[in-house]
Copies of this chain bind each other. A is one copy, B any other.
Amino acid sequence: MTKLLVIGAVTAGTSAAAKARRVDSKLEIKLLAESQYISYGSCGLPYFIGGAIAAKEKLLARSIENFAQQGIEVKNLCKATEINLSKQKVIFRNLAQNSIFEEFYDKLIIATGARPIIFDWPGTAKKGIFTLRTINDGVDIKEYLRLNKPGQVLIVGAGYIGLEMAENLSALGFQVTLVERGSQVAPSMDPDMALIIQEHLEQKGIKVLVNQEIKGFEGGETVAAAFTGSGVVPADFVLVSIGVRPNSELATDAGIKLGVGRAIEVNSQMETNIDGVYSAGDCATTTNLVTGEDVYIPMGTTANKQGRVAGENAAGGNAAFKGVLGTGIARVFDLEISRTGMTEKECREKGFKFISHTVKSRTAALPGYSGDVWIKIIVDEKTRRILGGQIAGYSGAGKRIDIIATAITLGARLEDIFDADLAYSPPFSPVWDPVLVALNQFR
């Protein structure tokens, strides 16, 4: 019987195992997880901490028993310590029993995910300094906040997680300061859009400090303040959310090739450079659909899709995952922000000649349903192909990015969709949808 071994059981790993089972009902499938928790959505963690998601169990999709019913054996609290490619086996440590065991495989899927970046700043080991990635992180933070009721909360890093946590921590009644090393919040968007977001954060009482790098933390056993280049920020709770790094050491130690961002390099079949070894999710590379280049953009959506492809192919199928646009969305208090494709910054880096327009419009015609929305569209100057879009706005603004993502996916030039027949009625849109208003700036 062919044995499929999957390392990692959060998103990509569980998708892979489930898909492999659907493709081949006879495959022996084992899914090994380092955490006690498997199959969960870490994107929900800010809302678990904020309270909108009431219990950690709500974050869990499928249980060990669910997988057992599908004939997938799950072992949790087992940490992979070595991949032996020549012997087609993986060495694990059982964390509960502190014992070592090995699992042989015919096909291997590496879905080890990523871990939060945290620098070794002076004082980083103090109590009250957290990162947020796993359910355990979420539980720990929630418990810490409950017990310690911090007066001043500091979030380091103004990406999606930092922005979402600013809202959720503020909703819990904490005074929040957001520190960002770069020159703007929302680093995956352009500065003009970032300013709209920063203004909204400030209106909501968040203190935003950009261009400020953390140098260290002070306090006793517990953190009391952070040093930045330009001063001291009082903080008795710190969340560091400055991005993630792929968990790729296991792979590279075994001789599996890494690619961009030190992620495991995969092709569109999710194959690594080693026959029979696949990788998927936040530990793996993917392709930017606009540039065609390998990129490392870890996202839950991508992990799901890559996992399915890896699972199908490991089970003998022939699926492919074409790539991503780096589409992202977040709610920041009342503001919805989203982006897809290339920003101006990225276009410049990649040498695209582009034109761009930003337009302010409304999300609907009916009072009470309508809010301001800013939409930016970036277009290739020569081909007039749409390269990217960014949105910031209220009540129904954010998901309009999907129109632009769909257009880019299908290679749309402006002329192809100037007159697209988008849906209109007063509670949902002005007669010209704001996306069309933005596109029509290029006429």
Contacts and interface: CB of A to CB of B under 8 A. Distances in A.
B409 A421 contact: yes
Contacts of A426: 41, 43-44, 47, 53
Interface string A41-75: 10110010000111000100000000000000000
Contact of A410 (B41, B325, B399, B412): B412
B409 A417 contact: yes
Interface stretch (A183-191, A218-226, A250-258, A362-370): A362-370
The winner among A52, A160, A368 for most chain B CB atoms within 10 A is A52
Nearest to A430: B41
A405 B420 contact: yes
A289 B417 CA distance: 12
A422 B322 CA distance: 14
A288 to B, nearest CB: 10
B324 A421 contact: yes
A37 interface: no
Given A53-B426, A399-B423, 8 more contacts: A52-B368, A164-B425, A304-B432, A322-B419, A324-B421, A327-B424, A329-B424, A406-B406
A431 B303 CA distance: 10
Interface in A383-438: 396, 398-403, 405-407, 409-412, 416-417, 419-429, 431-433, 435
Interface string A64-108: 000000000000000000000000000000000000000000000
Contact of A421 (B403, B405, B424, B427): B405
A331 B425 contact: yes
Contacts of A417: 406, 409-410
A428 B301 contact: no
A432 B400 CA distance: 16
8 contacts: A43-B425, A44-B365, A52-B366, A301-B424, A325-B421, A396-B396, A402-B420, A409-B416
A399 B429 contact: yes
A378 B14 CA distance: 30
B329 A425 contact: yes
A47 B370 CA distance: 14
> How many subunits of this chain does the assembly comprise?
2
Nearest to A320: B419
Interface of A: 11, 41, 43-44, 47, 52-54, 58, 160, 164, 289, 299-302, 304-305, 321-331, 336, 338, 340, 365-368, 396, 398-403, 405-407, 409-412, 416-417, 419-429, 431-433, 435
A399 B398 contact: no
Given A407-B406, A407-B410, A421 B289 contact: yes
B405 A423 contact: yes
A321 B421 CA distance: 11
Nearest to A319: B443
A411 B409 CA distance: 12
B340 A423 contact: yes
B423 A402 contact: yes
A375 to B, nearest CB: 13
A424 B365 contact: no
- Give the top 3 A-B pairs by smallest Cβ distance, nearest first: A329-B423, A410-B410, A325-B421
